[in-house]
Each structure stands twice: as structure tokens, then as C-alpha cells.
Amino acid sequence: MVYLDSASTSLYKPTQVTTAITEAVNSYGNPGRGAHKHALAAAKCIFQGRKTVASFFGASPQQVVFTSSATESLNIAILGLLKPTDHVITTVLEHNSVLRPLYYLESLGLGISYALTDFTKYLKSNTKAVVITAASNVTGQVTDLQQVSAFCKANGLLLIVDAAQAAGLVPLDMKNIDVLCFTGHKSLFGPQGIGGLVTKVEIPPLKYGGTGFDSFSKTQPDKLPDSLEAGTLNTPGIAGLSAGINYARTHGAKKAFDLAEWFHKQICRVSNIKIYSNLELPIVAINIGDFDSGDVEFFLSHEFGISVRGGFHCAPLLHETMGTKKQGIVRFSFSQFNTENDVLAAVQAVKLIAARC
């Protein structure tokens, strides 16, 4: 099998990740819920995880909040910081993890503007924030966050960033961001079910419950990270995430970019191919003739043993903008665990499918 769907989730994990998860599952207790060695081992793991995430994104450990996913993080940030009387600026590149919380608030009165390049013309007296992806999960287009941050600072706006697709592939620094939401299972090589947010602003809690201390208080703690971490944390996930981040930091992503560039160069020569990517991430998004993207995904999987992603990638506004609402897009996404043979197999398969047009 050739796996080229790493933008969805990293299938192959470094051995350090599986080792860290196994140790956590078999040895760690409930963090903050006891003073015995197993509970303390879990608490130490989580503290180290905060330090690892903070160092990776240029933050301090107390600004790191662990969640189940980028989706949960975005819901915490959007629903916690925005009110129905506010106005926000976002883009057509966004994933439904951004759009659906915004749509919910829009049903209560929130104003939303969808910018392309010039954000200034969308500015209103009640604009509260810019909510934006760091990189498109469909085409790999990378956002100029430095430029967006300058706009936000000049106009007193919050900058909330969806870093699910970009984290581990492009540099991200909290000096330009107010709230960064990430997931662990893509290019950070962690397991599914672990993510987080890094925040420089206080956010009201989305959920309430135990934190392991001050049990007689009727209110949730009001300081980060405890205010946003009700319930038992996913210690094995945090252990795996820490190991994955350390691997990503040490090894980088150059090989993934090189393989994507080589694949892109080869299929550019194939007739009946339309390419939507500019290689800002190791993603190559294409269509083959008039074939439905789901059919192409099926052909690749069942005839050639190649796993990719077809369809709409939870990004409806981008497909409407690009004119692919009917056909969808086929996304090839590479990681440093792919090989040159994977690229050769994918190129050959694309050529054979294109010849059917």
C-alpha cells in the first residue's frame, strides 16, 4: 500500500511516539488526582508536554491547553471569545471546524465577512477578530500570518489561527498570534484524539468539571490552563504528541516537500490533469479530466493500492470559489515517511487513469 493522505492524518509514526504512548498507557495514573508515583508520573508527563508545545510555538507553558483536537480548540476559542453582537473577518479557505462555530454564532446575530486579500475594506466598528487558517487543507496555500497580524494589531483585533494543517510544516510563532489551535495527529506525528490551543488571552471555559484541586469551589478555576481543562487529560496522547513534536523538530519536513515537488513535476506533463497546488505545503491537489474526485480516489485505492483523499475536504467555500463544488478535488499529501517508489507508483497510476479520459 502507498499512503499519500498525510494531510488527513499521519499513518506512520516514529518509534519514539509509539514507545511513549505504550509507557503512558501501562505506567501512568490520573494526573492531579493523587500523590502516588503513578499519578505523579502522569503529572510530570503533562508538564513536560506543555513545555514541549510551548517551546515549539514560542509560548510559555501556562499558555498551553490540551484538548481532543483542533476542532475542540477552535470551538473553545470562537465560542468563548466572540459574542453575537460582534463582527469577524475570515476567509473562503476555512475548514468547517472554523465555519460551523461561526455559522452558529451568525444564527444568533454575529456578522461575518469573507476576505480574499484586502482585509481593510471589511473592517467594521464592531469587528472583534480575524479567524483564519494558517494553511489550506485542500490546496496547501499558506497564509501570510505576519501581514494578517500587522492588520490585527493596527486595528485592535484578536487573531485566532487554525494551525491544524500547518503545524510541523511551516514555522508558527505566538508573537504574531493571540490564539493558535492545533491538532497532534497530522504533521506533528502524535496519535489521534490529542490537540490543543495556545493562548495569550483568557478564554471563558466551554466545559466545567473536576481539575484535581479546590474541589469545594462551585466555580471553574479562572486561570489557565486549568480553566479550560476540566476532566481527565489524555495523558497517553500528550506523551505521544511530545515525542512527535520532538521528532518533527529534529528531522524537519524537507523530504516531504521534495517528494511532493517531484510528483508535481512529473504529473505536470500528463494530459487531462488540472493542478490546484503551488507546493507551499507537501500537498498536490488535482483533478483528472471530468472524473469525479471520489471515483478517482476509488480507482487509486482499489486498482493501484494508493490511498489519497477525494471529495470536498470539509472546506465548502473554497470549492465554491474554485468551481469544484460538483467534482471535488483529489489530494495527494506526502510525509517524510514516503519514498521515491511511492511517487513513481502514484505518477504511473495517474497516467493510467488520465489515459481513460
Tell me, yes or no, whether 149 and 32 share the same domain.
yes
Tell me, yes or no, whether 165 and 297 share the same domain.
no
Tell me, yes or no, whether 159 and 30 share the same domain.
yes
CATH number at residue 155: 3.40.640.10
pLDDT at residue 83, as a whole number: 98
Tell me, yes or no, whether 200 and 296 share the same domain.
no
* 276, part of any domain: yes
* 265, part of any domain: yes
* 81, part of any domain: yes
Give a three-class secondary structure readout of the chain.
CEECECCCCCCCCCHHHHHHHHHHHHHCCCCCCCCCHHHHHHHHHHHHHHHHHHHHHCCCHHHEEEECCHHHHHHHHHHHHCCCCCEEEEECCCCHHHHHHHHHHHHCCCEEEEECCCCHHHCCCCEEEEEEECECCCCCCECCHHHHHHHHHHHCCEEEEECCCCCCCCCCCHHHCCEEEEECCCCCCCCCCCEEEEECCCCCCCCCCCCCCCCCCCCCCCCCCHHHCCCCCCHHHHHHHHHHHHHHHHHCCHHHHHHHHHHHHHHCCCCCEEECCCCCCCEEEEEECCCCHHHHHHHHHHHHCEECECCCCCCHHHHHHHCCCCCCCEEEECCCCCCHHHHHHHHHHHHHHHCCC
Number of folded domains that form the chain: 2
pLDDT above 90 (res 353)? yes
Give the confidence band of 77 by pLDDT, cuts at 50, 70, 90.
very high
* 344, part of any domain: yes
Tell me, yes or no, whether 185 and 306 share the same domain.
no
Task: Answer with the one of 199, 223, 250 that is the final residue of a domain.
Answer: 250
CATH number at residue 282: 3.90.1150.10
pLDDT at residue 37, as a whole number: 87
Tell me, yes or no, whether 341 and 308 share the same domain.
yes
Residue 286's domain spans which residues?
Answer: 253-354
* 5, part of any domain: no
pLDDT tens figures, 286-312? 999 999 999 999 999 999 999 999 999
pLDDT at residue 31, as a whole number: 83
